[in-house]
Structure 1
C-alpha cells in the first residue's frame, strides 16, 4: 500500500475544515437541499438550444469556448490547434450568446458569481480554452498581452495543452515512434504558470503529460485542476492520470473532474454507471474527498452522434477508430486495446447529474461527500482562484 505524502500548507488545511467550511460561500443561500445539491459540471459547451441549460439542472459549468484548426502531424495523426485569432473570435461569439440570454446565463468572472447565479435562478458559465496554443508570439511580453486580452474577454480557465505538447507543456499522447514520452513543463511553461497565477486564472492540466502535470503542481502558487480525466490505475491508457498526478493536484487544493468518455473509464465490453462511480471512489481514496469533481466533456444533452443512434455504442464507436488506430500505430500507451464504446448510456443524458447523485447514494457515500463531488469542490476552487 502506497503512503500518501501531502503538502501540509494546502491539503492538510483542507482536511482540517469541515463540510460547512468547505462550502461556506453557500451557507447563506436559500436552502437548495430541498430540491437538489449544488450541481457544477467541469467541462461542457454552450448549447445551441438554450432550453438545454435549464434542463441540465446545472448551477454552473465550465464551458470550452475555443475554436480549432485541424493540424496533420508529421506522423499522419491529427491534432487540433487553438490559435489566437480563432479563439479571440470564438470568445467574442460566446460573450454574445451569454449576453443574449441574461434570464438563463450569468457570466462567471469570480467564484462568487456561482452563488449570485443560484440566487437569481441563472447558470454561471466560466470560459475555458483547451490548449495554450492560443497564446502565441516569441516573447513573454507577447504572451502576457495575449493572456490579458483573453482575460478581458472573460477567459478564466486555461488548459495547457490538448493531447499533444506545445511550447509550454508536454502532452499526454506525445510519442517518439517507439515509446511514450513524458515531457516536462518547459521554461516558457513556467513563465506562463506565473502569469496565470498573477492574473488569478485557473490552470487546467487535462491532456498534459504526467510530468507536466507534476511540474505544474509544484510551480503553481494556487490550486490547479484537471477539469476532465480518469484514473490510469483503472484503465492503463496515456490519456488517464497516474495516482501521483491525482495526489499532486489534490495537494495544491485542486480538484480532478471525472469525465464521461467510457473508453477511458473501462475496458469492459458494456460500460455502466458503476464504472463511473469506481473512478470517483478511486480519486476519493487517492486524493481525498476534497479532490473529486464531475466533468462531462460532451455537450450538455450528451454526445450527439450516440444520441442519434439511441446510444448504440457498437455503431457509435466507429467514428473514433481511425484516430484510435493512428495512436496505436505510434505505440501510445493503452491504444492497443480496441475501444468498444463511447458513452455510458445512463450518463449520455441531460439528467446525468441527478443520476450520478442517485448512484453515489446507492454506493453509500455520505451526503456531505456527495455535495462536494457534485459541485461543492468546484465551487471552492473557483472561489479560491477566481478573485
Structure 2
C-alpha cells in the first residue's frame, strides 16, 4: 500500500506543478477539456491489488485520490483473484466480488488484463458496465496465456468493452514479432467483435523504466532479459505511425483507424464515468 500511495502522490505532485502538457482526468468531460486544450489526458490506474490486502475501503480511498481504472492482479494470486500465471487458478474471491461491486458503484473501470479465466468469467457474469482488457492480444494469433481466447474477446465486446493491443513481442508472435503480426491481431479481433471494440494498449516501456523493471525482476521468477523483446521497429510511441501505415495498406479507413487510436477508449471512458 505504501508503494501505491507513493506512486499516486508522485503523479499528483508532478501534475500539480506543471499541467501544461499532461492534465489528469477523472471524468469524460475532463478528458475532453484536456484534448480541447491540446494536452495529454492522463488517467490514474492500478495494475494489481496486492497492496490493498483485500480491503475494499482502500479502493474507495484510491477513488478519492483520482484512480479510475483497476486491474485485480498482475499475473499472480492475491486476496481478490488469481492472475494468468497461477497454476489451477480460481475465480474471484469474496473480496474480489465485493471490490468489483465497489468499482461499478463508483464508476471505476474494471481491467481484466492479467486476470485468469475463472475470474474473467466471474467479472463478465457480474458486469454492470463495459469492462476493458487494457493490454491483451488474441490467443488465436499468438498462443500465450496472457492473450485472450475468442470467447473472451466476444464477451468483452458483448458488454461494450474494449481490448487494447499489446505491442510486447512475446504476446505478438512467439518467433518473429512485427508490425504486420500486430495488425493480424487487430484483424482477428475486428473479425470477431467489430472495429468498435479494439484500441491501443501498447504497454511500451521506455528504456529508463525498462531498466528499473529489470531490477525488480531480479528477485522474481521472471527473466529480466524478456523485457527487451519488442517489435523491432515499433517499441515506442513515436514509432506508432508505422502500425497506422500497415492498417491503411490493409484497407482500413481513416475513420476506422481513428477508433483504434483512441475513439473507442473515449467512448468507454465517457460511458462509465458519466
TM-score in terms of structure 2 length: 0.90
Shift, 1:324, TM fit: 5.2
User: Which residues in structure 2 correspond to 1:54-65 (within 5 Å)?
Assistant: none
Unmatched runs of 5 consecutive residues or more in structure 2: none
Closer, same or farther in 2 for the Cα pair 1:305/1:201, shift >3 Å? closer
* 1:40-119 equivalent positions in 2, closer than 5 A: 84-119=1-36
Matched, 1:287 2:193: yes
> Which residue of 2 is the match for residue 224 of structure 1?
131
Name the CA distance, whole Å, in 2 between partners of 1:207 and 1:252: 19
1:260 counterpart (167, 177, 186): 167
Which of structures 1 and 2 has the larger relative contact order (alpha carbons within 8 angstroms, sep 6+)? 1
Give the secondary structure class of the aligned counterpart of 1:351.
Answer: helix
Matched residue of 1:207: which SS? coil
Which structure dedicates a bigger proportion of its chain to helix?
2
Q: Judge conservation of contact 1:204–1:227 (CA < 8 Å) in 2.
A: yes
Deviations 1:241-262 (A, max 9, x none): 1111111111111100011111
Contact kept in structure 2, 1:110 and 1:386, CA below 8 Å: yes
1:174 aligns with 2:71: no
Segment of structure 1 superposing worse, 99-108 or 191-200: 99-108
What runs of 5+ residues in structure 1 fail to find an aligned partner? 1-83, 176-180, 308-315, 326-338
Moved beyond 6 Å, runs of 4+: none
Q: Match for residue 47 of structure 1?
A: none
- The DSSP-based 3-state class of the residue aligned with 2:231 is coil
Equivalenced residue count is 269
Alpha-carbon distance in structure 1 between the residues aligned to 2:209 and 2:41: 27
How far apart in 2 are the matches of 1:340 and 1:102?
31
What is the CA–CA distance in structure 2 between the aligned matches of 1:264 and 1:192, rounded to whole Å?
Answer: 28
CA shift in 2, pair 1:113/1:352, >3 Å: farther
Max Rg structure: 1
What are the Cα deviations for residues 328-385 of structure 1, in whole angstroms up to 9, with x where unaligned? xxxxxxxxxxx79711122113313322222211111122211111101000001111
The 5 A counterparts of 1:295-310 are 295-299=201-205, 302-304=206-208
Instruction: Supply the distance in 1 between the matched residues of 2:193 and 2:122 (Cα, whole angstroms).
Output: 17
Aligned to 1:152: 64
What's the C-alpha RMSD, in Å, of the aligned pairs? 2.5
Q: Shift of residue 212 of structure 1?
A: 1.1
